[in-house]
Amino acid sequence: MPNPKRRHSQQRSAKRRTHYKATAQTLTIDSATGETHVRHRAHVSEGKLYYKGKVVAEKSPVK
């Protein structure tokens, strides 16, 4: 496995890292419940699982 012969400078490492940026997640308001949630993700509201404005699963009562 090849290893570097000389140490890379801090400036060189920093140049490489400049392209990594944190981005805010896109939020949207659900048409069925009116709640804000992350886009393209299912979310829970009042014990029901919603995706694309439709109920995907409901929480069953525990026996």
* Residue extents of the structural domains in the chain: 24-63
pLDDT band, residue 27 (cuts 50/70/90): very high
Identity of the amino acid at 29? I
What pLDDT, on the 0 to 100 scale, is given for residue 29?
92
Mean predicted lDDT score pLDDT of the chain: 87
Do the beta carbons of residue 55 and residue 49 sit within 8 Å? yes
Residue 63 has pLDDT above 70, yes or no: no
What pLDDT, on the 0 to 100 scale, is given for residue 32?
81
Evaluate the CA torsion angle 11, 13, 15, 19 in order and state its sign: negative
pLDDT band, residue 31 (cuts 50/70/90): confident
